[in-house]
Amino acid sequence: MAKIEVVNVTKRFGKFTALKNINLEIKDNEFFVLFGPAGAGKTTLLNNVAGIQIPEEGLIRFNGEIMNRIDPAHRNVAMVFENYALYPNLTVYENIASPLRSPLYKKDNATINREVHRVAELLRIDHLLERLPSQISNGQKQRVAIGRALVRDPNVFLMDEPLAHLDAKLRHYMRSELKEMQSSFNTTCIYVTHDFLEAVSLGDRIAIINEGSIIQVGTREEVYYTPCNEFVAALVGEPEINLVDGRLFVDNGKYYVETLEKGYLLPLPESSGIVRKLVDSEVTEYHIGFRPNNIKYTFEKKDGLIRGTVYSFESIGNKAVLIAKVGEKYIRMIAPNDLKVKLDQAVYVELPIHKAIFFDAQTTNFIGTSDEAAIYRLVQEQLSKGVQ
Amino acid sequence: MKRKRIVSNAVKNGLLALYALFALFPLFWMVLISFKSDAQMFNTTFIFNPTLENYDAVLLRTDYFKYFIDSIIVSVIAVLISVLAGVPAAYALARYDFKKKENLAFTILSFRFAPEILVVLPLFMIYQKIGLYDTYFGLIWVYQLITMPLLIWVIRGYFEDISVEIEHAAQVDGYSWWQVFLKRLLPLIKPGLVSASLLAFIFAWNNFTFPLMLSGTYVETITVASLKYIASDTVHYGQMAVAATVSALPAVIFALLIQKHLVRGLSFGAVKG
Amino acid sequence: MSKLIIKNLYKRYENKGKKKTQPNDFAVNNLSLECEDGEFIGILGPSGCGKTTTLRMIAGLEDITAGDIFIGDQRINDLHPKDRNIGLAFEDYALYPPLTVYDNIAFNLKAKGVPADQIKERVMEIAPLLKVEDLLDKMPISLSGGQKQRVNIARAIVRRPGLLLLDEPLSHLDGKMRQALRTEIKRLHNEIRCTTVYVTHDQLEAMSLADRIAIMNLGVLQQFGTPMEVYDDPANEFVAGFIGEPPMNLLKTTIIHHDGDYYFTFENSDLRILAPRRYYDLLSDGMQVKMGVRPTDIFVGGPDSKGTPVKVAVFEDLCSERRIGVRVGDELVMLITEDDTRYRQGEMIKLEVNGEKTHLFDLQTGNRIRPNK
């Protein structure tokens, strides 16, 4: 168990700068997720914490102690690799036992036996202990790799896209199982992923990282309801958030945004404080984000709704995504799985202005949200943290 | 269907037998004549009075065993040195990026391109000057040209096949670099190391040009020694056959022992788990 | 634009290894499908289920062991691939690197000797449909994966094939790109209405694209029906477990008879579910079957609910929805809710299962047990 600090870390590979002045503070016992697209530098950061790579600039601290010059073996970290990295010539049992046989963390045989069986039971692989890695499935290999880390009592538990190579079905299942096991980890975890669902399901806090820089660090609610810019908004959420152009419009002391079509006005909700935020920002051109699950639609003409045509209708498991073409804009919405709909038929869309996220059209930075429930929840969260 | 399969199997086996006969006949012939006396050498084929007089002459009445031991000393030590130097070199070539890496790797391989006869004359002059001529060390040294490239190239492939994460995993598990190398990597390259070493040994053992030119009195390998049975007046084919048969034994025995290993070991990708 | 009919199709590979060929060792085993003109058919199954083999037999890249394939009225078993009038796009883009995008798309037409002005007309007609009109002068090497796959599909449809075959065209693309192109493929089909066979292992792709889905496993067709049919009315346990994300919860259950009603009970669990009346003729006390229920048909009951109290094993907040997992015996049972309440691991909830929405499967064969009508 340890508090991990990453201070002003810069890592270069030749002329390429993989990490640019990264600062992070990961609390003791926290499950911390590094989330970002491929090539963002997530794995590099993890390798720097593990000691597999050493930063050119900056410090890595465990519980305040500088780790830069300590080799991986002596950092007491456990790591799960994307490609599992099991020892192909050793049985599952020996793979899991490997850390306990190393000169540094050596335990007697009875302890090893007990620990390996404890971990194997937790991971439901106790029937595979005598097999070789080549004789088990990918999902099982993944469990063995996790087992090799769980068998120890490390400062920090590092996981590098552990589910990325599994097929969709298994990945969802393993994610739920990992969530179930989380409470038995009992140590600080840093988890790298490019999958939004893994990030929000598992992370106590999420750091969003892109092109070697940290974009935002926050809880699931913070990054989902108050993303610091459009990049984060697009990354967090599935299907992707809809971003439409909008302009502030004032009439008779009432505030509106004009969006999608000229003259299509949405009244800004007074109580949410969004009006104040928009006015204070002195920005009048916005990109307004609407989450697909908040958008309502109907197939009958109704006042105040904007007309579009059905561009596509796709089932995504237990629900479906309906895409409406409004002018040149495509609006994604969640619909029930069994909706009867024809392509190109008319659809009327209601943009939920009371659940909108506003970004500066120029800088793409976050200005404010009109979602009162979200704001309330965030405040509650802050308060409960204060109480703790 | 079934009948067709039986016929095609019979044809296949027949052809294979024919090839085996073709391939093994010279060996068989050599063994045959090692049992013939000089008198019967040219006037008999398969039916003759087998005699051990050639064996007696070669093995007991000449320094044959000394040549045999010389061959073993030179070949074994040459392979050992190649393993000791070649495995780390192969690791470096597989894992590290450094300037002109591929050029270096190619240079090592190119030692095997040049015909030995091309380098052996200058080497002869140099060896005589610096006192390496006709020494064990001199031969072992020059044998590195044969054994080292083979080892490096085979083992490099093995190291490249092991994902670097396995090393990282072992380091994180609490092993120092040397322990990772010895406990985790070495077992994984073992099949390649064994087969490449044995192949290198066979190549070194069979080499003729280098010992012919660079040694001769104090150190003499068995391949060169076989020439001794060409006397000024006559060629003792029988004795030569004995020398050749015995000298071929280690190679044949090794090849049979490691046959399975050899095919699997030399085809890369064998360690992927 | 033609009908595709597959009749009693078999494929068996000659086993080159030492293993004896088993009598039922078919890569494709008695497959019959009828696709209407202009229909979009998905062939769905796990790897090794025979879906790609089927596609390759339709394309003529693989010999047919037994059975017939018709396109329109013509039996095509013995036709050369080039004479089958089929457009084919594989998982790998395999564009010709030295040719521009335009020349790549035009390649087949040129080979057939179509006049240049007609080629141009057709390429220009196809390019906007796949949004590659701005890429026509580029070289394949400068394209992204998604763009390459668009060009690849354009190349397949530019010859106006009677039948379009797509083999996992999205599997090399990353998440966002995959979704975008999936939508485009759907639109494209709506535009050109070419009979299409789409092979995939991803149930999401099949569900979202196909008019009808053929689900295969171990070379055998499991079910052929519309996405909602295979979702709501699975033919067997395999289909039930394959379709849907998260998939249907499948649990071994023992039936008990109590006070005139039948209940599903589970080993090492207090969970009890009232069996729907329509099954009563089929059930008996002590009978063992597999019960399946979708994650959307399980609910968390309120304080005065009669549901079974269970411990929350997993709570996943996925922002737009929440998933709750509970352990029933050894199995993890998932439910989905859009309700905003947060739960902690270990918290007790009352689990309510919509018994009416349960499906039953035979323990041995995995076949659906259907109530008598």
**Which residue of A lies nearest to C185 if distances are taken between CA atoms?**
A312
Q: Do A317 and C334 touch (CB under 8 A)?
A: no
Residues A261 and A189 in one domain: no
The count of domains in chain A is 2
List CB contacts (< 8 A) between A104 and chain B: 174-175
Does the distance separating the beta carbons of A312 and C244 come in below 8 Å? no
CA of C104, closest CA in chain A: separation in Å?
A: 29
Q: Are A230 and A245 within one domain? A: no
- Determine the pLDDT at residue A213: 94
Average pLDDT on C150-179 reads 87
Find the helix or strand (DSSP H, E) in which B141 lies: helix B136-161
Does residue C305 have a pLDDT over 70?
A: yes
What percent of chain B clears pLDDT 70, i.e. is strictly above it?
A: 93
Question: Which pLDDT value is given to residue B113?
Answer: 80
Contacts of C319 in chain A (CB under 8 A): 200, 220, 224, 236-237
Residue C252, pLDDT score: 94
Split at pLDDT 50, 70, 90, the class of B248 is: confident
**C213-225 tens-digit pLDDT:** 999 998 999 999 9
A-chain CB neighbours of B163 within 8 Å are 83, 85
Condensed to tens digits (0 to 9), the pLDDT of residues A7-47 reads 999 999 988 999 999 999 999 999 999 999 888 999 999 99
User: How confident is the model at residue C21, as a pLDDT?
Assistant: 47
In tens, the pLDDT along B135-172 reads 899 999 999 988 999 899 889 989 998 889 999 999 99
C183–A238 CB contact, under 8 Å: no
Chains touching B by CB (3 or more pairs below 8 Å): A
Q: Are A364 and A231 in contact (CB under 8 A)?
A: yes
* pTM recorded for the entire structure: 0.85
Q: Which residues in chain C have Cβ-Cβ distances shorter than 8 Å to A323?
A: 183
Strands C163-167 and C4-11, bridge-based pairing: unpaired
- Strand pairing class (C288-293; C359-361): antiparallel
Higher pLDDT, A309 or B39: A309
- For the residues A117-146, what does the mean pLDDT come to? 89
Nearest-Cα distance to chain B for A376, in Å, is: 43
Contact C247 A38 (CB under 8 A): no
Q: Give yes or no: residues A54 and A111 share one domain.
A: yes
Q: pLDDT tens across C79-90, in order?
A: 888 888 888 888
Q: How many CB pairs under 8 A join A and B?
A: 74
The gap between the terminal CA atoms of chain A, to the nearest Å, is: 20
Residues A217, A221, A224, A226, Cα dihedral to 10°:
-70
Whole-complex ipTM: 0.86
Residues 6+ apart with CB under 8 A from C37: C1, C2, C3, C195
C323 contacts on A by Cβ (under 8 Å)? 176, 201
B-chain residues near A82 (CB < 8 A):
165
- In one-letter notation, the amino acid at residue A191 is Y
**Same domain as A164, residue A33:** yes
CATH of B52-268, one of 3.40.109.10, 3.40.50.10440, 3.40.190.290, 1.10.3720.10: 1.10.3720.10
Q: Which of A196-205, C171-180, C182-191 has the lowest mean pLDDT?
A: C171-180
Q: How much is the pLDDT for B232?
A: 65
Beta carbons of A298 and A344 less than 8 angstroms apart: no
- Provide the chain C residues 333-372 that lie in CB contact (below 8 A) with chain A: 334, 336, 338, 345
- 3+ Cβ–Cβ pairs closer than 8 Å linking C and B: no
Say yes or no: A49 and A186 in one domain. yes
* B177 neighbourhood in chain A, CB within 8 Å: 71
Q: Output the pLDDT for position B265.
A: 60
Q: What is the pLDDT of residues B40-77, one digit of tens each?
A: 777 777 778 788 888 888 888 778 888 888 999 999 99
For residue B176 the two structure tokens come to: 């120092």
* C140 pLDDT above the threshold of 70: yes
B114 by Cβ neighbours in 10 Å (0-12 / 13-18 / 19+) ranks as exposed
N-terminal to C-terminal alpha carbon distance within chain C:
39
Q: How far is C372 from chain A (nearest CA, A)?
A: 25
To test the contact with chain A by mutation, choose from C318, C330, C354 the residue with the greatest count of A C-beta atoms within 10 A, namely: C318
Residue C18, pLDDT score: 44
Convert the pLDDT of each residue in B79-111 to its tens digit: 999 999 999 999 999 998 888 888 888 888 888
CA distance A44 to A54: 10
**Domain of A74, in residue numbers:** 4-234
Q: Do A85 and B187 touch (CB under 8 A)?
A: no
A88 to B173: CB separation less than 8 angstroms, yes or no: no
Question: What mean pLDDT comes out for the span A124-151?
Answer: 90
C25-36 pLDDT per residue, tens = 788 989 999 999
Residue B2 has a pLDDT of 65
Alpha-carbon distance A65 to nearest alpha carbon in chain C (angstroms): 33
Is the pLDDT at B268 greater than 60, yes or no? no
The predicted model gives C336-364 an average pLDDT of: 90
Chain C partners within 8 Å of A317 (Cβ): 203-204, 207, 244-246
The domain boundary residue, chosen from A218, A234, A250? A234
The residue-averaged pLDDT of C34-39 equals 92
List of chains touching A (3+ CB pairs within 8 A):
B, C
Q: Which of A214, A234, A254 finishes a domain? A: A234
CA pair distance A123, B158, nearest whole angstrom = 32
For residue B264, name the pLDDT band (cuts at 50, 70, 90).
low
